[in-house]
Amino acid sequence: MSGQTAISLTTGGLVLGGAGVCTWAAVSPSSDLFGRAVRRAGSPRAIALTFDDGPNPAVTPALLDLLDRYRARATFFMIGRHARSSPDLVREVAARGHAIGNHTDTHPNLIWLSPARIEEQLARCQDAISAATKMAPRWMRPPYGFRGPQLARVLRRGGWAGMALWTRAMFDWKPQPPERMIGRMARVRGGEMLLMHDGDHRIQNSDRSHVLRSLEHWLPRWADDGFEFPTIDDLARPPLPAAAN
């Protein structure tokens, strides 16, 4: 649970040489140019489930029950203003053994924000989560995955463990027939970190029933295949001895 492992966020003193490179680095979930990031599940026998933009009273409670049914743990990257309006739900997520990460207070695009504005966004979200759980997240995920070089500096200065991205987005941010998402999830492989949404950054009580239906389909199959579902804090622990992994 501690997630104490220090992850270096150094950018290696890079001189950025061209708008094309910068743009790619700022939006690509596989870029390390603007700070080290965790984006994989760590083991080919694991799938890391992550849920953004909640908590959502209309969806998160059912999602927690579903995850419990398959003994799956996940990481919830919460938005501060949603956390403030549902503190009991924030507490419940933590009490069920899931990890909570910081997804900023109001979900702005961080690329063009000053370090001070980014710090404020992170601090307000952190306050909302800490007020509910008495624990402070050590991981964050930038909204849309967008980030500039100033974010890495802010995280380094603030003693954050780092940022989490993903290997595969499930394109679940709009209501849709669950069959479509179930089909996309057939491509998921061991070792991936999945970006999903239990909430919507614009509104509360958003419809995410397609996310629930898709997981109802895939979680039992993945569990049968022997996959584990680590949280971001599990991934940040020191590597296990080879024999134990």
Whether 169 and 135 have beta carbons less than 8 Å apart is answered as no
Query: Among residues 91 and 107, whose Cβ is nearest to Zn ion?
Result: 107
| Rounded Cα–Cα distance for residues 81 and 32 (Å) | 29
- Please choose, from the candidates 27, 53, 30, the residue with its C-alpha nearest in 3D space to the C-alpha of residue 147: 27
CB of 77 to Zn ion, least distance (A): 7
Q: How many CB atoms lie within 10 A of CB 237?
A: 14
Site for Zn ion contains 52 (CB under 5 A): yes
Active-site residue (options: 52, 53, 105, 233): 52
Instruction: Provide CB contacts within 8 A for 222, sequence distance 6+.
Output: 47, 70, 188, 229
Least distance (Å) between residue 169 CB and Zn ion: 11
Point out which span in 30-38, 52-60, 114-122, 235-243 binds Zn ion (CB under 5 A): 52-60
Query: Which of these is catalytic: 98, 197, 201, 210?
Result: 197
Active site (annotated) includes residue 217? no
From the CB of 200, what's the least distance to Zn ion, in Å?
A: 9
If the CB atoms of residues 52 and 228 are measured against Zn ion, the closer one turns out to be 52
Residues of this chain, 118-177, that bind Zn ion according to CB under 5 A: 143
Residue 53 as a binder of Zn ion (CB under 5 A): the answer is yes
Task: Report, in Å, the least distance between residue 19 CB and Zn ion.
Answer: 25
Q: Is 107 a catalytic residue?
A: no
Under the binding rule (CB under 5 A), the answer on residue 198 touching Zn ion is no
Rounded alpha-carbon distances, angstroms, from residue 206 to 99, 163, 197 = 22, 25, 10
- Of the candidate spans 45-53, 88-96, 159-167, 237-245, the one that interacts with Zn ion by CB under 5 A turns out to be 45-53
By beta-carbon distance, which residue lies closest to Zn ion?
52
Alpha-carbon distance values, 81 to 102, 109, 131, 241, 242 (Å): 11, 16, 12, 41, 42
Q: Is 114 within 8 Å of 150 (Cβ atoms)?
A: yes
Considering the complex, what minimum distance in angstroms separates the CB of residue 182 from Zn ion?
A: 22
Strands 168-169 and 48-54: unpaired
Tokens of 219: 């979680």
Report, as residue numbers or ranges, the catalytic residues. Answer: 52, 197
Binding footprint of Zn ion on the chain (CB under 5 A): 52-53, 143
